[in-house]
Amino acid sequence: MSEVFYRKWRPTRLDEVVGQEMVARTLRNAVAKGRTAHAYLFCGPRGTGKTSTARILAKAINCLAPQDGEPDNECNMCRAVNEGRAMDLIEIDAASNRGIDDIRNVRDRVHYAPSEGRCKVYIVDEVHMLTDAAFNALLKTLEEPPAHSIFILATTEAHKVPLTIVSRCQRFDFRRIPLEESAAKLADLSRREGVEASPEALALIARESAGSLRDAENLLERALVSYGSPLTEEHLRDLLELGSDEQALELAGHVASKSVKDGLALINQIAGEGADLRQLHRSVVGYLRGVMLASAGVSDAAIHPDEAQARLDSFAGNASMPHLVRSLRLFSEIDMRREGASAIELELALVRSSMEEEQAPAPTAPPVPAAPPAPARSQPAPARPAAGQRPARQGTQPAPRVSRQPAPASKGPPVEYTPTSTDGLPTEPQSKLDSQWNEIVRSLSRHKGRRFNLGALLRDCKEREISDGQIILKFSFKSHMERMEEELSDPQTQKVLKNALANALDGPHHIKVAVVGGGGNGPRQSPALRSHLVRAAQSMGAKVVAEKEEIPDDEQEDA
């Protein structure tokens, strides 16, 4: 890959170095005051201007007519450096095989006076790559530096440079170049080259180059070679094989709005198109971050073009901050570089991001009675009260009595129970029935059968199963099941219940009763013993002397 732009537009003065104002100012002052050090260590990520700055510094030191610490770029010394023929500028690439020999040469020759300028300047690039022997040779030289020599060591990995070396250098840390500055530099460069490139294209180049101006300039050049002027964002996407970012943006929107179904369909579609899922993942994480920032009132126009930013703002308007934080965390935890990483990772993160909020309802949500923690098998559908339970109505109910604390017959914490068909998804009438169950129970809450209140009995019906035109109502207590059986033997009561169910299911069903878990003998533990009030009393020394099962009857003709 050629580096024409990079070389052509390399900064020639310290004030042209992009994004390193602190470093440039300090060095300029040092040159202007004649107080340069004998050894410098330039640390920082690749492409942030370390070597360019080193060359400018070398020029400024030997310049015949420096201006406020800057080289004039016109004298013989400056031109020699700019044209790569300066005798007193020695560049060593420590990463090359010749590294050790070069360093030995330096040690042997460092005491010769400079041939033209005031100082011999040695630039050792990628200095962390030197061998121990070469480091030792270098250290000896740095320990007794001749007055007319200056060493500038550059590295991307300062921690690999021995402390004995580091401690003899004046250290400068080069920062990653901010995206706006990178993009602005690219715009300036395009203008000077007489080519057109859209701001979106330049922003994308800056983003892809992650703070390395050299990478950014090379990428711009590659793009111009391939597509010419004017350069668009689509050209860059094509060059970088990024696929459509529109899909990533859309997916971020589905995550933000918890549109699981649409999100899964989109992932499926993208995977089917053979797109690069790693890139999709990166983009989605970037966009989710954008939504989170937008939610906090921060917009990062340098990262996202205006149009995308507007969409991110709208996503933010429809999502809670906790949900966005969770989603961003879930998506950024995915390691798509892992062997075998697939669309499943993205699907899981999407589903989980929509689920976990249900565990902790937002404070503004209406109170849900005894919201159980969502079990792993639970569907990502919005939580609804467990069957048989329902929100307390304002003041019409007496305080619950110990003996009728609803408790599930199964072990473990109460969970939302969604009977499923064999493929694991609720059948349509099944989900219809389950979603309307509380309403059905409520509609029967004032209906007294022969002996018992139907609604109260049905509150103990924890599971319902629909198959072949019949509904099996499963009770947690055998006694309740028997009472319902008794009530159903009365044609009048049976008709009432059938009608209530038929309304919900668009058609009549035959009604059967059973006990949860397939005809067991009721709960393993008496409801009284499972009550937290009784347990609390027991813990204080109370003893159960008698148990009397009680039918919930609080709504019998009292309203």
Q: At its nearest, how many Å lie between Zn ion and the CB of residue 121? A: 14
Those residues with Cβ within 8 angstroms of residue 427's Cβ, 6 or more apart along the chain or in another chain: 421, 466
Residue 188 is which amino acid? D
Q: At its nearest, how many Å lie between Zn ion and the CB of residue 75? A: 3
Nearer to Zn ion, 12 or 48 (CB): 12
Using CB under 5 A, which of 15, 38, 45, 75 touches Zn ion? Answer: 75
Q: At its nearest, how many Å lie between Zn ion and the CB of residue 54? A: 16
Q: At its nearest, how many Å lie between Zn ion and the CB of residue 30? A: 17
Nearer to Zn ion, 77 or 142 (CB): 77
Interface segment toward Zn ion; rule CB under 5 A; list 24-32, 64-72, 122-130, 184-192: 64-72
Site string for Zn ion, 234-253 (x = CB under 5 A): --------------------
Residue 32 binding Zn ion, by CB under 5 A: no
**Minimal CA–CA distance to 195: which of 474, 9, 337, 455?**
9
Could you tell me how many residues make up the chain? Answer: 559
Q: At its nearest, how many Å lie between Zn ion and the CB of residue 150? A: 16
Which single residue is written with the structure tokens 């249900």? 358
For β-strands 149-155 and 510-515, DSSP reports them as: unpaired
Q: At its nearest, how many Å lie between Zn ion and the CB of residue 65? A: 6
Burial bucket for residue 356 (CB in 10 Å: 0-12, 13-18, 19+): middle
SS3 118: coil
> Is 470:509 a contact under the CB 8 Å cutoff?
yes
Nearer to Zn ion, 13 or 104 (CB): 13
Using CB under 5 A, which of 17, 24, 31, 78 touches Zn ion? Answer: 78
Nearer to Zn ion, 71 or 522 (CB): 71
CA distance linking residue 405 with residue 399, whole number of Å: 11
Residue 72 binding Zn ion, by CB under 5 A: yes
Residue 118 binding Zn ion, by CB under 5 A: no
Q: Name residue 171's beta-bridge partners.
A: 41
Q: How many residues bind Zn ion (CB under 5 A)?
A: 5
Alpha helix (H) ranges present in 306-453? 306-317, 321-332, 343-359, 428-443
Using CB under 5 A, which of 63, 100, 121, 206 touches Zn ion? Answer: 63
Which single residue is written with the structure tokens 């059973």? 514
Nearer to Zn ion, 63 or 121 (CB): 63
Nearer to Zn ion, 17 or 291 (CB): 17
Nearer to Zn ion, 74 or 428 (CB): 74
**With the C-alpha atoms ordered 466, 467, 468, 474, is the resulting torsion angle positive or negative?**
negative
Q: At its nearest, how many Å lie between Zn ion and the CB of residue 287? A: 49
CA distance linking residue 66 with residue 59, whole number of Å: 9
Contact footprint for Zn ion (CB under 5 A): 63, 71-72, 75, 78
